[in-house]
Structure 1
Amino acid sequence: MPLYFIAIIAPDEVNQQVLEWKRYMLYRFNCKKALRLPAHITLIPPFNMPSILEVPLGRSLEDFTRHQTAFSIYLKNFSAFAPRVIYVHVEPGVSLLQLKADLEDLLLENDLDLPKKEERPFQPHITIASRDLKKGDFAAAQAYFSGRSCEAQFETGAVSLLRNAGERWEVVGEYPFGDLA
């Protein structure tokens, strides 16, 4: 069964900056995994689903986003999930938290047998280095990014469904919010 997840994809200018940081991690620490994806904020973490359910899920997401309103996302500096993940911190605003909660409810309510609510608290972020950062390199990578600042804002007006395509993740559906459709 293919692997999917649901996310907010960052706009191109944010993606380009994040790509520069990901490339630094590639050249300095040989971290490749984060390069497989565009800059994004995961709302629903990866889940397996039969590909035949991709269209019905897309319809559910389209109906859901039709009732959503665009809002601002704020990025502020860097943080980490020790000892393997470095990321850009995303301020967890009320609109973002509500969007995630509503998406989880949508997936629980439909008949697609998709993932249940996550047990871990939601920590919105944009990954720069993922699980392929070696534990021995973590302190140096964290020190590099803790010495830098990042502040950005962008308007989000869609959620995307991504599918694992082996070496890359591909966006298989983008669902604009009702006020932008």
Structure 2
Amino acid sequence: MKSLFLIALLPPEQLSEQIDGIRKECSEKYNVYAALKPPVHLTLYRTIHIEQHLEKHLEKVLMQATHRDPFTVTLENFDSFNNQTLFINCIKSPPLAALQKSISAIISRNRFDPREVKGGNTLFKPHITIAYRDVSPEIFPVMWDEYKSRKFKREFPVHAFTLLKHNGKQWQPVKHYNLVPQNESLTLF
């Protein structure tokens, strides 16, 4: 049996609540609700189906991506994909790109994702989704007209990333992976 997993950054609670308020405002105004299902997050690796017997292995190997300094994520303004997805843009900083690339390499090395797309990190466009999937072609231009010039700028510290599992109804955090600063070395004595 396979379960659905997602690897993401979860903003701090206060910022998540603020962004969720924007998602709810958008959903109520435009009758688009799909983006309200997952928690507010910044995807580091797309959803993947993992066989039950490999779940613990996935949890273990993701530890390899934790050996890096904490960093800051900058969210700035709104953008869109394919006239269907509205999102808050995230500035692609070198530390964020390196974390995503490391996670992608771990997924690839361990063959967890048969859909893996060649090019890997070049496809990474960090963002936090506000509306998607159920946005109709008729509604999107009106929605985009409202958000394209709307200003939004926030930063949040990243000290961990999260593995989430879908339980059939909602996403649940399975494990938080704290980042271990590069200058902290393990001492045995």
TM norm structure 1: 0.90
**Which sections of structure 1, spanning at least 5 residues, go unmatched?**
none
1:114 counterpart residue number: 112
Give the C-alpha shift of residue 130 in structure 1.
Answer: 1.4
> Structure 1 residue 117: deviation in Å?
4.9
User: What are the residue-to-residue correspondences of 1:93-172 with 2, within 5 Å?
Assistant: 93-110=93-110, 113-115=111-113, 116-117=116-117, 119=119, 121-172=123-174
- Structure 2, unpaired ranges of 5+: 185-189
More deviation, 4-13/90-99: 4-13
Change in 2 beyond 3 A, CA 1:118/1:28: farther
What secondary structure is seen at the aligned counterpart in 2 of 1:136? coil
Provide the C-alpha distance between the structure 2 equivalents of 1:122 and 1:62, rounded to a whole number of angstroms.
Answer: 21
> Contact 2:78–2:147 at 8 Å: present in 1 too?
yes
Q: Normalised by the size of structure 2, how large is the TM-score?
A: 0.87
Given that residues 40 and 128 in structure 2 are in contact (C-alpha distance below 8 angstroms), is that contact kept between their aligned partners in structure 1? yes
Given that 2:65 and 2:99 are in contact with CA atoms closer than 8 Å, whether structure 1 keeps it comes out as no
Provide Cα deviations, 1:96-131, integer angstroms capped at 9, x if missing partner.
111111111122223xx3123564621100000111
The amino acid of 1:58's aligned partner reads E
Cα distance in 2 between the residues matched to 1:118 and 1:14: 34
Over 3 Å counting, the alpha-carbon distance change for 1:135 and 1:102 in structure 2 is: same
Distance of 1:54 and 1:68 partners within structure 2: 24
1:6 is displaced (CA, Å) by: 0.7
Matched residue, 1:30: 31
Aligned residues: 177
**Root-mean-square deviation (CA), in Å?**
1.7
One-letter identity of the residue aligned with 2:141: A
